[in-house]
Structure 1
Amino acid sequence: MYVKAAAGAVLALLLTTTVAAADPTPGSSQGGTPGPSAPAGVKVSTELPSKISVDNTSEATTLTARITNNGSKATPAIVLSVVGFGALKVTDVKGCSPVPTTRRPKGANGAYYCQISALAAGASKAFTVSATYDLQGKGQICLPVTLGTGETLLWQQGPVPFGTTRPTPNAPDTPLLLGTNNVPAGQDVSASPSPDLPSTGAPEGALPLALAGGLLLAAGAAGLWLTARKPRRH
């Protein structure tokens, strides 16, 4: 089955129920980088909301991770992963499977992989992501996309931060902006680094971040775990 073999191969490389949830702000591919190669006619990308809100009491938030095929032909089987880092913990991705804790990349706070058998040219799929955000820290999210039958990275968005330079601790929630490093309440903003995006790709001609930077986004970790188990015979 492609699910097991493909997921294991993806782990070695790097790191479906689909819900079309609407976000109050437009999506953005900010921080996205195409992979080094892709099948002819296949051109995928992902989007995250440009703004999310975190409940100041529960620290809960929801967002939509969207994948789109901008190419001229349908994709083969592909895998979209959603991985949280630092203060951002991914707690669920509806219609997707969790990566076991022991198989997550270093620093990951929750990781899920979403199997997509095919995505038609011009089509997109949206997945509802549930998460928590510790507003006293800085959090990032990463969306890598790989071929489901091999070791090809098609696209990676992030790790990209969500955050604010204007904390609202006394309000019901805190709005966080994509591409902004979070400044916790009470911290001196003037002493904080500029809220620019971190580098999400290696220099031109080099491997993308997931391959060269050591962030092994475990899109196929659960699949590798499954392949280690012998199937039962009935």
Structure 2
Amino acid sequence: MSSRRTKTIAGSLVAASFSAVVILSGTADADEGDTGSSKGGKVIDEAPAGVELTTLLPEKISVDNSSGTTDITATVKNEGTKDSGKTKLLVVGFDGLTVKNVEGCSAIEKGSLPEGSNSGFACSLDNLPAGESKSYAVEATYDLKKAGKICLPVQSADGKKTYWQQGPVPFGTTNPSPDAPATPLLLGTDNEPVAPGADKLPKTGLGRDVLPLGAAGAALIAAGGAGLWWSRLGRPGRARQS
């Protein structure tokens, strides 16, 4: 084999190795940047000039089949150019999803919970600087025999305005695995539970989602304020998908 041919082959191998490293590095960076989704989110009331508040939920959660427990990360972001000032994030559970605790936040009393919800916590924010975010560890349980939804409204400190609301958005699976140690659930997916000794139950979630967003949900009042949450969802707003 000539030295020229040897050099050509060696050069090709180096180039291929370099390409593989670039591809793998790009994949790792993409995974690390996957911090959540604003799926099901919408602007309700106009925020102060220069303030743009949104929320993120994980695309996937896992429910322990023996205990029914799951962990969720709820994130609030200020994508604007100015600091937010005092605001609050609410984390509210519906149907099969019950919020048990949110780190650093206060439980909403049952009498002040939004209509149709089973649990909720209020997280006060003194200020969220422009371009920054704050995440909260959410402990929850999920009854896999039901649909389960979560809602993240971001409000003014007095609760009179809702700058952004994500949900109620479902977590669910169309492929239940009751015999596995855990069941993975996807954001924005209606749950199709399996009852013991029976075939799949009728699809839940989508049809029932109309109720809290309709007349029965018109009187949803946040803790500490009189702001209506999604009674105004019908008016034009900025929807966000990611």
Please indicate the TM-score interval, normalised by the length of the shorter structure: 0.7 to 0.9
Equivalent of 1:192, from 199, 203, 207? 203
Alignment partners' CA distance in 2, 1:173 and 1:127: 23
- Give yes or no for contact 1:179–1:197 (8 Å, CA) kept in 2: no
- Give yes or no for contact 1:78–1:146 (8 Å, CA) kept in 2: yes
Within-5 A mapping of 1:92-107: 92-107=101-116
The residue aligned with 2:239 is none
5+ residue gaps, structure 2:
1-31, 226-242
Q: Secondary structure of the equivalent of 1:146?
A: strand
Alignment partners' CA distance in 1, 2:216 and 2:54: 20
- Give yes or no for contact 1:161–1:181 (8 Å, CA) kept in 2: yes
- Give yes or no for contact 2:113–2:221 (8 Å, CA) kept in 1: yes
Q: 1:96 to 1:194 in 2, by over 3 A?
A: closer
The residue aligned with 1:216 is 220
Equivalent of 1:135, from 144, 163, 167? 144
- Give yes or no for contact 2:84–2:128 (8 Å, CA) kept in 1: yes
Alignment partners' CA distance in 2, 1:138 and 1:59: 13
Q: Secondary structure of the equivalent of 2:190?
A: coil
Greater relative contact order structure (CA < 8 Å, 6+ sep): 1
The residue aligned with 2:72 is 63
- Give yes or no for contact 1:65–1:127 (8 Å, CA) kept in 2: yes
Aligned-residue offset at 1:219: 3.9
The structure whose Rg is larger is 2
Aligned identity (percent) is: 48
User: Deviations 1:33-87 (Å, cap 9, x if unpaired)?
Assistant: 0123110000000000000000001000011000000000000100100000000
Aligned-residue offset at 1:220: 2.7
Aligned-residue offset at 1:108: 1.4
Q: Secondary structure of the equivalent of 1:183?
A: coil
Alignment partners' CA distance in 1, 2:179 and 2:221: 36
- The alignment status of 1:49 with 2:58, answered yes or no, reads yes
Which one has the bigger helix percentage? 2
- The alignment status of 1:168 with 2:168, answered yes or no, reads no
Q: 1:96 to 1:211 in 2, by over 3 A?
A: farther
Greater mean deviation of Cα atoms: 210-219 or 53-62 = 210-219
Aligned-residue offset at 1:103: 1.6
- Give yes or no for contact 1:46–1:68 (8 Å, CA) kept in 2: yes
Q: 1:104 to 1:179 in 2, by over 3 A?
A: same
- Give yes or no for contact 1:144–1:217 (8 Å, CA) kept in 2: no
5+ residue gaps, structure 1:
1-22, 200-208, 222-234
User: Deviations 1:186-205 (Å, cap 9, x if unpaired)?
Assistant: 57669537969957xxxxxx
Q: Over the residues paired in the alignment, what is the CA RMSD in angstroms?
A: 3.0
Aligned-residue offset at 1:131: 0.3
Alignment partners' CA distance in 2, 1:43 and 1:210: 27
Q: How many matched pairs?
A: 192
- Give yes or no for contact 1:84–1:90 (8 Å, CA) kept in 2: yes
